[in-house]
Amino acid sequence: MSPKAIIIGGGIGGLSAAICLRMIGWQVQVLEQAPEISEVGAGVQISPNGVKILEEMGVMPLLDASLFEPDAIEIRMGISGRKLLRLPMKDAAVHRWGARYIQIHRADLVAGLTARLEKLAPDTVQVGAQAASYTHQAHGVQVVLKDGTIEHANLAIGADGIHSTIRNQMLGPDAPHFTGNIAWRALVPVEQLGNFAPPATGCIWVGRGKHAVTTRVRAGALVNFIGVVEHSDWKKEGWKTEGRKQDALADFMGWDQRLLSVIQHAEVLHKWALFDRPPLPHWHDKHVVLLGDAAHPMLPSMAQGAVQSIEDAYMLAQCLKRTKNDRIPIAIASYFDERIKRVTKVQRVSAQNLRLFHKPSLPAQILSYAPVWLAGKLAPGLVQKQNDWLYGKVFEPLTTPKLNL
């Protein structure tokens, strides 16, 4: 009989893990505590390293109608709107890194992942199912749900996000670290913004103590706004917490009218405190393993949290491919070894980017942004090259392609 994995958490990481393990012949069961699989109203950028895996997983055709391909990634000054850097993306990403750079509504990505999983393994997602703990068994693991139900498997995967119950049991309780930043987010139809629509790029607007990111989702019909602001006094985390429009406007007072216009037109503005955690010593314990934000939460300033959870899922399946039950602990240890260096670097560069985007004084801005501007003008190829280690990663196929004779 094929081995079974219980995946705790039906977010982007958990659903990707279920698909990847099913692709290598495992039985999968996803436990999601929420009453339905859904995602918040916000966009997510998926860089070419993530898109390559979504292609391999057979998910990309399900996203084609709703995704948006930005012309470029830009950095602009938040107040003047002056362009510091423009890196062409459309076509250039496929040419340089082997896949597209896309922007998509989270709900559309999750719908695509769910549809793909349903095709590969119908009825494997259980909603309203909150995992409370796990217990090691002689040749596997048992997962205890909050309602007392017990489930057995060869492997339990904690894909249960930044406040992971599974992580807490594996490594002891602790709290993720509040970074002193909050994130505003909003979605606004492009047609409402007229001449004040932000450019159709992935645009990072930088300035003193804050930055904003504008992207497009729903095939370009909606502008997605994220505004990250240094605030030490507000630590509530939760995608569904609403904030006041006048507070968001006050945070971005004096900034480019295109950003203010998005805030003014937003029907709802959500507010979210940003947390991270230093790298963990391990993500595995016998027949239990972590992935995604449960293992390595990171700041959004590289747009990699979801992408890295997709990479985790794929590489975990690579390590488990053809593994016998008694070798699972070794296989998941090799998954950790394979992943830790790369995600630690992504965590580090994400934190560095935040500092770069929030330069506190004019001299610090000139010192940091002048070289960025110059490099973009004189050697754009060199700037693109800095992303090769991340976007250019090549992934071995998970399954042997069938010959169509």
Ligand X SMILES: Cc1cc2nc3c(=O)[nH]c(=O)nc-3n(C[C@H](O)[C@H](O)[C@H](O)COP(=O)(O)OP(=O)(O)OC[C@H]3O[C@@H](n4cnc5c(N)ncnc54)[C@H](O)[C@@H]3O)c2cc1C
Q: Are 51 and 44 in contact (CB under 8 A)?
A: no
- Tell whether residue 256 is a contact of ligand X (CB under 6 A): no
What is the distance between the terminal CA atoms of the chain, rounded to a whole angstrom? 30
For residue 97, the surrounding DSSP H or E stretch is helix 92-97
Per CB under 6 A, the segment of 72-80, 113-121, 153-161, 193-201 that binds ligand X is 153-161
Residues 236-265: b if buried by 16+ CB within 10 A, e if exposed: ebeeeeebebebbeebbeebbebbbbbbeb
**Token pair listed for 107:** 């709900």
Q: Which helix (H) or strand (E) holds 284?
A: strand 284-285
The only residue of 130, 142, 192, 365 in contact with ligand X, by rule CB under 6 A: 130
CA 56, chain centre distance (Å): 18
Q: Which of 398, 400, 402, 339 is nearest to 59 (CA)?
A: 398
Q: Give the list of residues 6+ apart from residue 349 with CB closer than 8 angstroms, or none.
A: 302
Q: Contacting ligand X (CB under 6 A), which of 3, 7, 9, 336? A: 9
Among 3, 48, 305, 376, which residue interacts with ligand X (rule: CB under 6 A)? 305
How many residues bind to ligand X according to rule CB under 6 A? 32
Among 214, 261, 304, 334, binds ligand X (CB under 6 A): 304
Are the C-beta atoms of 48 and 72 separated by less than 8 Å?
A: no
243 binds ligand X (CB under 6 A): no
Which CB sits closer to ligand X, 41 or 300?
300
Q: Would you say 145 or 398 has its CB closer to ligand X?
A: 145
Instruction: Name the one range near ligand X by CB under 6 A: 12-20, 63-71, 82-90, 324-332.
Output: 12-20
Q: Does residue number 44 form part of the binding site for ligand X (CB under 6 A)?
A: yes
Question: Does residue 131 bind ligand X (CB under 6 A)?
Answer: yes
Residue 65 C-beta: closest distance to ligand X, Å? 20
Q: Among 64-72, 160-168, 254-262, 360-368, which window interacts with ligand X (CB under 6 A)?
A: 160-168
Q: Work out whether 14 is an interface residue with ligand X (CB under 6 A).
A: yes
Residues 46-105 contacting ligand X, CB under 6 A? none
33 interacts with ligand X by CB under 6 A: yes
Tokens for 171, please give them: 């490594």
Stretch that binds ligand X, among 73-81, 298-306, 385-393, 396-404 (CB under 6 A): 298-306
118: which residues sit within 8 A by CB, 6+ positions away? none
- Using CB under 6 A, which of 161, 198, 227, 243 touches ligand X? 161
Q: Which residue has the tokens 């937003």?
A: 266
Output 300 or 376, the one with its CB closest to ligand X. Answer: 300
Among all chains, which residue has been given the structure tokens 């049991």?
169
**Residue 133 pairs with which residues in a beta bridge?**
144
Residues interacting with ligand X, by CB under 6 A? 8-14, 31-34, 44-45, 130-131, 159-161, 165, 183, 185, 226, 272, 292-293, 300, 303-307, 309
